[in-house]
Amino acid sequence: MTDHEVLTPAGLTARPLLFASGEDAYVADRVLRTWVSPDGADPDWADRVVAALEPGERAVGALSFEAGAPGILHQVVGEERALRSPGTEPADREWRVREFPTAAEYADMVRAALRQIEDGSLHKVVLGRCLDVVSEPPLDPADVIDRLLTTRPGRYVFSVPLTQGDTPGPLLLGASPELLVRRSGDLIQCTPLAGSVPRSEELAEDAERGRRLLSSGKDLAEHAFVVDAIVHALKDVCVDIEAPSSPQLMRTDTVWHLASPIRARLAAGAEGPSALRLAQLLHPTPAVGGVPREAAQATIAALEGDLRNYFAGCVGWVDGSGDGEFAVTIRAAVIDGERLRLFAGAGIVAGSDPDAEVRETGAKLATMARVTGLP
């Protein structure tokens, strides 16, 4: 389905549309069309979007976490550039914050998942929790985006309106550290993250936490689920797949991650899937879902309820040649007027400790809380 109501320049000023993976951001100057689908995993919809793109145009947008859930892509013309510097925070800003679920409720969710892992019906599941925030005065999305671009708590900074036209509505934004897939010609790259630990402000302890993560049997097993799933999916469309035998450390401002850069080439003799189709093929990986996929998604729905929507989905861009880049929608927030929701998840496997998973999700939530100015 397509919708021809578009964001005007004034609408883009209020709700900027961008995706950044380098020093500057690709910022949309003009929206030509907004493509929406009740099923963001629909391959025909993806192919129609890519086929409609002229030279110099991109489709920038997001896919939801669940299969059969909405997707939105804005067909745009723009350029790579920096945004303005962030403004000064109002001294009298007031916040009302609610944890959902609470730390204690989340720990109980982890215990419930561990019981399923123990009985063999599940190997891994990622469970999330949120902070729901009301801000007075409302946050200025442009200020939050500029702080994300300045501080770069994650490599992939994004801002995507989740509605078409200038009608006020939710804005998805964040700074993901995780590359789902990048296509440049026939070169395919993925950098999955799985296995994490909060960082420490004390240098020696921080380094020790990283070393322990690299040797943690529980975290290495969690990471292997993700790498194996991506390699298996790529085999359908790629050759020369290269995945490291062991992960490396990646750090953000609040968390150490295990990371595995994966490279492959599209099979010769065919045009090959676009970056958008590759994102549909790979998503959701066990980094945000679990193993087995169907059992994990059923557990997420039963324990989390309706938390995710576009959280833990993927966000990025594609052009008419099929090249593009999509990140996993983590370290993310949705701003809608005075309301703000932050989301973070943690992978639960055999050996997971509920209290440790509470701390891990708290550290991940702190990334976006810090950028929004939340005390």
Q: Which residues are catalytic, by number? A: 124, 178
Q: How far apart are CA 56 and CA 320, in angstroms?
A: 8
Residue 3 near residue 36 (C-beta atoms within 8 A): yes
Tokens of residue 40, six digits: 């963001």
Q: 342 forms bridges with which residues in the sheet?
A: 131, 333
Tokens of residue 28, six digits: 């949309």
Q: What is the DSSP letter of 226?
A: H
Q: How far is CA 51 from CA 57, 75, 274, 319, in A?
A: 11, 11, 10, 9
Q: Which amino acid is at 77?
A: V
| Closest to 147 measured CA to CA, from 371, 373, 375 | 371
Q: 263 forms bridges with which residues in the sheet?
A: 189, 242
DSSP 251-310: E-SSEEEEE--EEEEEPTTS----HHHHHHHHPSPTTTSEESHHHHHHHHHHHH-S--TT
Residue 367 near residue 253 (C-beta atoms within 8 A): yes
Largest CA distance in the chain: 62
149-152-154-156 Cα dihedral, nearest 10 degrees: 30
Which residue in the block uniquely carries the two structure tokens 């995945």?
Answer: 243
Q: How far apart are CA 29 and CA 148, in angstroms?
A: 20
